[in-house]
Amino acid sequence: MSTLSAKNPFSELFSYRQLLVSLVWRDLRVRYKQSLLGMAWAVLLPMSMMLIFTFVFTRAVKVADGLDISMPYPLFAYTGLVPWTFFSASLIGSVNSLVANRNLVTKVYFPREVFPLSSIGSAFADFCIAGSVLVGLVAYFHFTTSWTFELTPAIAFVPVIVAVQIIFAAGLGMLLSMANLFYRDVRQLLGVGMQLWMFLTCVVYPIHNDGSWWGVIAMCNPMTPIIKGYRQCLLEGTLPSGGAFLAACATALAVFALGWWSFRKMSYKFAECI
């Protein structure tokens, strides 16, 4: 390994940025190849889930009025589902990224981090497409309901929230892809775990720290202040709550550091395990 890769792995990864872009583009082409709707699926998934939860909470069990939210429920749900879908797709894509690229892992040298990072990159493209639909939803509810949207400087903080989420997903993605290489059960367990994790996050209903064990566990979940931060900046015109969001930032950085260090340390064994 070169002195550059040993001393400055970030510089080495940056030097392979064209490979990363190529892998992201390849993932997108494979995902939507021979698809009638193409990248419209990036919108249809969170939109369909929004409609289902809206029906359940406003028609079937009619609990939306008691959820203590300051916006129309469809907006609340969609603003949670889009970043959550991005997070879920990032991890589900990352967990199998090394195994799916076994030919490259065993034959050519380059930073192996590009595989989980490319999965996050392709999921980010879908996130941007699905997020653009939020503009239309906001306009619709602004003009057809009593709820009003105000453009505030807090919206400028959204890229910071996106960056924190990407850092957190990248750290977990490296850990999961490495774990799945050694134990193939990880991929199956992740699918179940993501479903449970969603209901421990304020994706489709608000979560408050009321002192109960459920509230404490939910607030320790880094994705809770991240999802809540999107709503606060985009729809409520305020910055994320300081303490909880700072804790999420610290957790994201710690997970990324652990994932990066572990991935680099164990990368020499990847070819043997595949």
Flag whether pLDDT at 4 surpasses 50: no
Residue predicted with more confidence, 165 or 112: 165
Instruction: List the one residue out of 229, 74, 236 whose CA is nearest residue 151.
Output: 236
Flag whether pLDDT at 271 surpasses 80: no
User: What is d(CA 264, CA 111) in angstroms, rounded to the nearest whole number?
Assistant: 9
Flag whether pLDDT at 6 surpasses 50: no
DSSP 162-189: HHHHHHHHHHHHHHHHHHHHH-THHHHH
The verdict on residue 231 lying in a domain is yes
Flag whether pLDDT at 259 surpasses 50: yes
Q: What is the mean pLDDT of residues 258-267?
A: 90
Global pTM exceeds 0.85: yes
Give the pLDDT band of residue 5 (cuts 50, 70, 90). very low
Give the pLDDT band of residue 232 (cuts 50, 70, 90). very high
The verdict on residue 112 lying in a domain is yes
Q: What is the pLDDT of residue 123?
A: 95
Q: What is the mean pLDDT of residues 64-82?
A: 86
- Residue 27 belongs to what H/E stretch? helix 17-32
- Please tell me what DSSP assigns to residue 67: S
> How many alpha carbons lie under 13 Å from residue 264 in its C-beta half-sphere?
15
Residue 175: give the domain boundaries. Answer: 15-273
Q: What is the pLDDT of residue 7?
A: 53
230 Cβ neighbours under 8 A, 6+ residues apart: 79, 80, 83, 158, 161
The verdict on residue 7 lying in a domain is no
H runs (alpha helix) in 145-241: 158-182, 185-198, 213-220, 223-231
Looking at the structure of the chain, the number of domains it has is: 1
Residue-wise over 159-192: b if at least 16 C-beta within 10 A, else e?
A: eebbebbbbbbbbbbbbbbbbbbeeeebbeebee
The verdict on residue 244 lying in a domain is yes
User: What is d(CA 116, CA 260) in angstroms, rounded to the nearest whole number?
Assistant: 11
CA distances from 109 to 12, 19, 260, 269 (A): 12, 12, 17, 13
Residue type, 28: L
Q: What is the pLDDT of residue 62?
A: 62
The verdict on residue 1 lying in a domain is no
Residue predicted with more confidence, 111 or 64: 111
Give the distance, in angstroms, between the CA of residue 42 and the centroid of all CA atoms in the same chain: 13
The verdict on residue 8 lying in a domain is no
Give the pLDDT band of residue 105 (cuts 50, 70, 90). confident
Flag the least confident range among 34-38, 42-46, 107-111.
34-38
The verdict on residue 221 lying in a domain is yes
Q: What is the mean pLDDT of residues 179-192?
A: 90
User: What is d(CA 256, CA 167) in angstroms, rounded to the nearest whole number?
Assistant: 6
Q: What is the pLDDT of residue 86?
A: 97
The verdict on residue 142 lying in a domain is yes
